[in-house]
Amino acid sequence: MKKVLMLGTGGTIASEVTPSGLAPALTSAELLRCVPEISSLCSVTCEELFSIDSTNVTPAHWLTIARAIRARYEEYDGFVIAHGTDTMAYTAAALSYLIQYSPKPIILTGAQKPIVFENTDSKTNLADAFRCAVSDLRGVMIVFNGRVILGTRARKTRTVSLQAFSSINYPELAVLQNGFLMEYIRPSALPAPVFYDKLGERVALMKMIPGADCGMLSYLLEHNDAVIIESFGVGGLPSYQGSGFERVLREAMEAEKTIVMTTQVQNEGSNLSVYDVGFHLKNDLHLLEAYDMTTEAVVAKLMWILGQTRDPAEIRRLFCTPVSYDLLYLKREDKA
């Protein structure tokens, strides 16, 4: 029988009702007792890392999870992380960079309703997560509502519906129906994973709105090493007289800040070369472009990169090097 390590972190799945709303309370062992069928799938060891609402998750928690897996990696055949849904996609992306090319499955799951509720998705999601943890799947994945989603491609797209997560710009890896796993895609792996244990947390995100003040971008660049700009459509920034964005960007590039342009549009990605408002950002200022990456993956990848280097050329090379299929589309000038 295969051995699986279950890591508890809190979240809705482990929550109980309190006078001020739902709050994490149950341990991993208590969750398992609610799904007795898991005992027939594998031998499980439980470890509590923390018990928090995932709104409170920080990059330090990502490192805690990655280190726990690294410390026990050789002892287990798979790993299940019970996690809150609100930041699960960020955690899945971060673990995809901190633990690369894993030949073993590393599964994140959670629920839209606590396991103590009568009408809950917790039990199905948890059982499905363990089915995947003992399978031949590999790498970091989210298992939720019968779908298996690559860690670098997941996004929470519904706040209360049971189908909370979507796979963005990439197919689902597998589906589960009536307890059976049907695998479509198997990511590449190495005989042993490559672990990392540092993150550069000084990364900020600016979401553009019509009439946005360039002063906000200037502030974010002053206080961070990297800034991601979520622009409109395929990408661009205001260029009307007095907008000030080009000046702010030029000053930031001279100060060797890292700037990534992406899009607010969920599907199909950016392409700065299409319109004049984006062309000069790409060809004159040489900003990095996220293309088909999710914002969650861009955030986590930049933190991973800044944990390894501060050299601008190396930052560009690493950002443009695909990791766990986070980036499928690259223009020729961006390829490492």
Residue 122, helix vs strand vs coil: helix
Q: What is the identity of the amino acid at 274? A: V
Q: What is the identity of the amino acid at 228? A: I
Residue indicated by tokens 């499928």: 328
> Angle formed by the axes of helices 295-306 and 88-98, to 10°?
40
DSSP-derived letter for residue 20 is T
> What phi, psi does 32 have (nearest 5°)?
-60, -35
How many helices and strands (H and E) does the chain possess?
9, 18
Identified catalytic residue from 9, 18, 64, 85: 85
Task: Count Cβ atoms below 10 Å from residue 331 Cβ, excluding itself.
Answer: 13
Burial 81-109 (b: 16+ CB within 10 A, else e): bbbbbbbbbbbbbbbbbbbbbbebbbbbb
Q: How far is CA 231 from CA 211, 240, 266, 273, 294, in A?
A: 12, 15, 12, 14, 13
Identified catalytic residue from 9, 12, 152, 262: 12
String of DSSP letters for 269-296: ---TTSSHHHHHHHHTS--EE-TT--HH
Distance CA 230, CA 253 (A): 18
**Residue 85 known to be catalytic:** yes
Sequence-ordered list of residues with C-beta below 8 angstroms from that of 76, at least 6 positions apart, any chain: 3, 4, 5, 45, 104
**Residue 12 known to be catalytic:** yes
Q: Which residues are catalytic?
A: 12, 85
